[in-house]
Each structure stands twice: as structure tokens, then as C-alpha cells.
Amino acid sequence: PRAMARSSLGVGVKTAGKVRDVYDLGDGRLLLVSTDRLSAFDRALCTVPFKGAVLTGVSAWWFERTRDIVANHVISVPHPRAMLVRRCTPFAVEVVVRGYITGSTATSLWTHYAAGAREYCGHALPDGWIKHQQLTPPLLTPTTKDAHDRPISPAEVVAEGRMTQAQWDQVAAAAMALFARGQEVAAARGLLLVDTKYEFGVDDDGVVTLIDEVHTPDSSRYWVAATYAARMAAGEDPDAMDKEFIRRWYKAHTDPYDTATPLPAPPA
């Protein structure tokens, strides 16, 4: 099947993100179209057929089932790839919740910890942690939403004017509640919700609002619960159901952060 690398709808003003094409309809509404682009290491790597429809469907499911925790921007889902939303002003912060220490990107907790860091996003980290182990309680680790994301502490979020203290307090509480809900639902389906990224903004009334996507295989890591303990004991990576495998493949075959070097074709 053919993948959809880009959209062209001829409505509103289009802005292309890493994965989504955003159409500003000019009336306080945005149309978010999820393409099949796969993004990692701050760049688009390849396309995966039907990926955009999966992202939209998963996000729509979660947005509907978390309205009791925090308001969100969804108006309707008019197409399997498209979501009509209220335009909000995003905070310049990505809110990452980590239930396990893992990862392969420059901002990942394990990358920093393995390099000797014992402070991360305002958290003091003990010695002796091993890769893929569970973190109890989960850690809230914000990153900047810039051309290249960087870890940032809650105090820095406020000091840099990215949110007020009251907004951060509300966002932090919502993120932890969303993650707990996500882990509960995943566990009932034989999965571990390992970590995830949330994005928030404020609507025209100043209400803190959940935006973008929720608990998708793009924004989250999922592991198979049944094999986790055995693979940990054997020193093997957990069975994953997300895009971590493609991150590992690119890291093994190239420097994915070197934008001057053409990317190799992804595995079929």
C-alpha cells in the first residue's frame, strides 16, 4: 500500500509539522491531518502506510476517555486521518512522564543516566539504576519544544516564562493523572505504558487544555507485559510495540542527528 507523505486540501492556511499537516481555518478551528511520516531524532525518517490513521484513531479514543481529567481541544473526527480541533496557544514545553528508565534519543533519561548524569529535569537520581527498570513513582520530565528539544526542570519552565507556576501545577497534576489512566488501561490489555509525551496549551478563555495527541505509538513507548521480566533477567530489550525499533535501527546504521548525511532506506 502507498503511504501518504503529505496532504493538500486547499483549505485554510497550511503548516507542515513533523508528522501532522495543520490547516488553520481562520475561525478559531484547526484541521489536523496525520500523514504517514515517521519522525525521530528531530527529523522525518520515512513513511509507514496507514500510520496517520492509527495516530488519529488512538488519539480520538483517548481524548474522549480523559475529559474527566482535563479539557481537550477536540471538536470532531471527520475522517480517519483528520481531527477538527479548537485552536489553542501551545505552551513551549513537552511534558514527558516516564514509568521506566529507557530510551535511545539525546533527550532520553537512560542516555543521560548512562553518561553519568545524576540530576535530570530537577530530579536527583540515585546510583544503581539499570536500563529498562521500573520507576516508582513515575518521573515527570519536561523538555523544551524547540528545534532541538532539551530537558528542563519545572523551575526553569516557570523562570523562562513558558508557563506560570499555577499553569505548571495544573499541567503536572493532569499529566500524572493521564499517565496513571494510561497505565491502567494498557495493563488490562497486556501492555506496559512505559513513557509518553503530552502537550498542553490554553484556549481563548485561558483554560489549560490537552492538545496534539494522547498515548499513541508515536508519543509513547509500549512493552509487552508478559515477556518483560524474562527479557530483563536475560539482559535483553523488552518486546516493544512502538517506534523504538526504528530508532535503534537508524542509530545502528547511521548518525541520525547528522542532517548533512543522507538517511539510509529503512528496513522493509
CATH number at residue 215: 3.30.470.20
pLDDT for res 44: 86
Residues 203 and 156 in one domain: yes
Q: What is the mean pLDDT of residues 8-22?
A: 95
pLDDT for res 216: 97
Residues 30 and 134 in one domain: no
- Which domain, by its residues, includes 210? 90-252
Q: How confident is the model at residue 71 (pLDDT cuts 50, 70, 90)?
A: very high
pLDDT for res 170: 99
pLDDT for res 40: 86
Q: How confident is the model at residue 65 (pLDDT cuts 50, 70, 90)?
A: very high
Residue 264 located in a structural domain: no
* Amino acid letter, 63: F
C-alpha grid cell for residue 144?
523544551
Q: Is the pLDDT of residue 175 over 80?
A: yes
Q: Is the pLDDT of residue 107 over 90?
A: no
Q: How confident is the model at residue 148 (pLDDT cuts 50, 70, 90)?
A: confident
pLDDT for res 7: 97
147 vs 3, which has greater pLDDT? 3
pLDDT for res 47: 92
Q: How confident is the model at residue 261 (pLDDT cuts 50, 70, 90)?
A: confident
Domain boundary among 87, 119, 134: 87
C-alpha grid cell for residue 244?
523504538
pLDDT above 90 covers a percentage of the chain that reads 84
Q: pTM of the entire structure? A: 0.93
Residues 115 and 160 in one domain: yes
Q: What is the CATH number of the domain that holds 73?
A: 3.30.200.20
pLDDT for res 149: 84
Please state, in angstroms and rounded to a whole number, the distance separating the CA atoms of residues 256 and 266. 12
pLDDT for res 147: 75
The set of long-range contacts for 146-155, using a CB threshold of 8 Å and a minimum separation of 24, is: 146/92, 147/42, 148/42, 148/106, 149/42, 149/94, 149/107, 150/107, 151/107, 151/112, 151/120, 151/121, 152/93, 152/121, 153/121, 153/122, 154/121, 154/122, 155/122
Residue 2 located in a structural domain: no
Per the structure, how many domains does the chain have? 2
Q: What is the mean pLDDT of residues 255-264?
A: 89
pLDDT for res 266: 84
Residues 30-62 as b/e (b if ≥16 CB within 10 A, e otherwise) read: bbbbbbbbbbbbbebbbbeeebbbbbbbbbbeb
Residues 61 and 140 in one domain: no
Contact 220, 197 (CB under 8 A): yes
Residues 69 and 180 in one domain: no
Q: Which residues contact 93 (CB under 8 A, 6 or more apart)?
A: 142, 143, 144, 145, 152, 157, 162, 163, 171, 200
Q: Is the pLDDT of residue 14 over 90?
A: yes
Please state, in angstroms and rounded to a whole number, the distance separating the CA atoms of residues 72 and 90. 12
Residue 53 located in a structural domain: yes
Residues 50 and 102 in one domain: no
Residues 38 and 150 in one domain: no
Residues 50 and 33 in one domain: yes
Residues 34 and 104 in one domain: no
Residue 229 located in a structural domain: yes
Residues 65 and 144 in one domain: no
Residues 197 and 115 in one domain: yes
Residues 40 and 131 in one domain: no
